[in-house]
Structure 1
Amino acid sequence: MKRIKPAFILGITLLLTGCLYPEDRLAKNQVPNEVQLQTVQEAVVQFQEASDGLLPIKTRHSDTPIFQKYPVDFEKLREYNLMGRAPGNSFEEGGKYQYVIIHPETEPTVKVIDLRMAAELRKMNTLIEIYRNEHIYPPFGKQVAEGIYRLNHESLGLETEPYVESPYSGQPLPIVLNVQGEIFIDYSRDLYQALQKFEHEYEYGDDIRYILAENYPFVPAYSLPYTIQDGEPVFMEPQS
């Protein structure tokens, strides 16, 4: 097994284990920052250089949604002596973030998924499963696009419409259903703000979710594809 830059390894170990800070400042108690992301990014780049272009990623099914498809495999980084342990705020260390890679074939870039959103979706899926044990169709509410619906929260026994907190803005994001009854987070609000804030050359048919993934530490996980129409985000039409 190849060994790579011991000094670099020591720096990563000290940074990610939090041994230089008191407990209340450990990485696991902080939101993802540029230092943490850059540290993992450098380890990923060095792994790729040492393994003839391979990436340190866990195997996922081919139909896994794109932003969840390439989670960083910290065990592989440890095997190459590139990292003593995963960041303290990572899923592997009991934290609330999963480190993932976007653009794996062109410019592999490390980002994170806020797993608190997944927890909220699991809760909602449980309610939907209970509902569907007694009803033929999912709890469809108002239709917002072709084949996309808001949740009928009253049918689920909820007083208000459920939402998840945006990792980008902190604003509430709705949950939507497709015709199969699968649930997703609606990032339309965040996408609209990002389209106004950042320069871009997106055209109709492009997946504009990358404007969030490329300008923030977070990826828009658990989402449907969006494109742009008349300067605003819209759901992509389902492929036949």
Structure 2
Amino acid sequence: MNTGLIRIAAVLALLILTVSITGCMYPDERRGENNPAAAKEFLVVVQNAVNEYQKETGLLPIQNSTMDTPLYEKYVVAFKLLQNRGFLSSIPANAFERGGTNYYIVINEETNPEVKLMDLVSYQQAEAVQKAVDDYRGTHGGVLPAASEAAKSFYWIDYKLLGTDPPKVVSVYTGQTLSLMMHETGRVVIDYAPDLMQLVQKQKIQPMQGKDMRALLAESFPHAPAKSYPYFWTQKEPRVSAK
């Protein structure tokens, strides 16, 4: 056989062996960590475990939180409680507790407890800007690094004053880039108005007056809108509100 062909055959064999070994090193669960279909499957498994736990104990398997914890960040699933009672064999691969990028949380806790995801990537981006805003206020007599007004009681952030570029916050709902804004108290949140508007237009929804529109995102997607204030349908658009 030609020496060149032998070398080619050897290289191909090595590549095939490498791919085979790599595939064996990563279980299906880890390979599907960022797969939307896998995420939905994980949610079903955890939802069933939460339901069984509540049925048996009369309680929800959630971590302790404070009264000040925002609505869509408040009730984080306590996986150890589910595992200790045998309702869950392993923690989902996309959970923070397994090195993933999501917290599992419970919403509608009093009426119809539902398990959702909280995206930690965008959460941590907002937290990093929060720290920068707090540091700026601390060295400027409590003044906010505010640019123009975003809505009543809300402001866009002047990143030049912070000496940094705005983070690229990618929406878990639409994939578009979202902005951060500040409440007049200095709390930094994600502006979900573009996501809400796209959802309303795509699904041809007629939002109910006086109802917090964030529920539409939580009902329509696996993720809950963390780092947010309520939104209400006003003059044919979603508007953030501190109330």
Class of the TM-score when normalised by the shorter of the 2 chains: 0.7 to 0.9
User: In the TM superposition, what is the alpha-carbon distance from 1:70 to its structure 2 partner?
Assistant: 0.9
Distance of aligned partners of 1:162 and 1:96 in 2 relative to their CA distance in 1, 3 Å threshold: closer
Residues 1-240 of structure 1 mapped to structure 2, 5 A cutoff: 23=26, 25-27=28-30, 29-32=33-36, 33-52=39-58, 54-136=59-141, 137-158=143-164, 160-198=165-203, 200=205, 202-236=207-241, 238-239=242-243
User: In the TM superposition, what is the alpha-carbon distance from 1:80 to its structure 2 partner?
Assistant: 1.3
> Which amino acid in 2 is paired with 1:208?
M
Instruction: List per-residue Cα deviations over 1:71-128 (Å, max 9, x = no partner).
Output: 1111110121111221111011121110011111111111101101122122212322
Contact 2:214 2:225 in 1 (8 A): yes
Contact 1:184 1:222 in 2 (8 A): yes
Stretch of structure 1 that moved more, 29-38 or 71-80: 29-38
CA–CA distance in structure 1, aligned partners of residues 180 and 107 of structure 2: 24
Hey, which of these two has a bigger chunk of helix by percent? 2
Stretch of structure 1 that moved more, 32-41 or 137-146: 32-41
Runs of 4 or more above 4 Å deviation: none
> Which amino acid in 2 is paired with 1:115?
L
> Which amino acid in 2 is paired with 1:56?
P
User: In the TM superposition, what is the alpha-carbon distance from 1:64 to its structure 2 partner?
Assistant: 1.1
Other structure's SS at 2:125 match? helix
Stretch of structure 1 that moved more, 225-234 or 205-214: 225-234
Contact 1:90 1:99 in 2 (8 A): yes
In structure 2, list runs of 5 or more residues that go unmatched. Answer: 1-23
Contact 1:91 1:97 in 2 (8 A): yes
Contact 1:148 1:177 in 2 (8 A): yes
Contact 1:153 1:162 in 2 (8 A): no
Per the normalisation by structure 2, the TM-score is 0.83
Contact 2:146 2:155 in 1 (8 A): yes
Other structure's SS at 1:206 match? coil
Per the normalisation by structure 1, the TM-score is 0.84
Larger Rg computed on CA atoms: 2
CA–CA distance in structure 2, aligned partners of residues 189 and 86 of structure 1: 33
Instruction: List per-residue Cα deviations over 1:141-187 (Å, max 9, x = no partner).
Output: 110111100001111113x5444111111111100001111100000
Name the Cα RMSD after superposition.
Answer: 2.0
Contact 2:182 2:188 in 1 (8 A): yes
CA–CA distance in structure 2, aligned partners of residues 201 and 46 of structure 1: 35
Instruction: List per-residue Cα deviations over 1:10-54 (Å, max 9, x = no partner).
Output: xxxxxxxxxxx85164347324522111011111111111113x1
User: In the TM superposition, what is the alpha-carbon distance from 1:129 to its structure 2 partner?
Assistant: 3.0
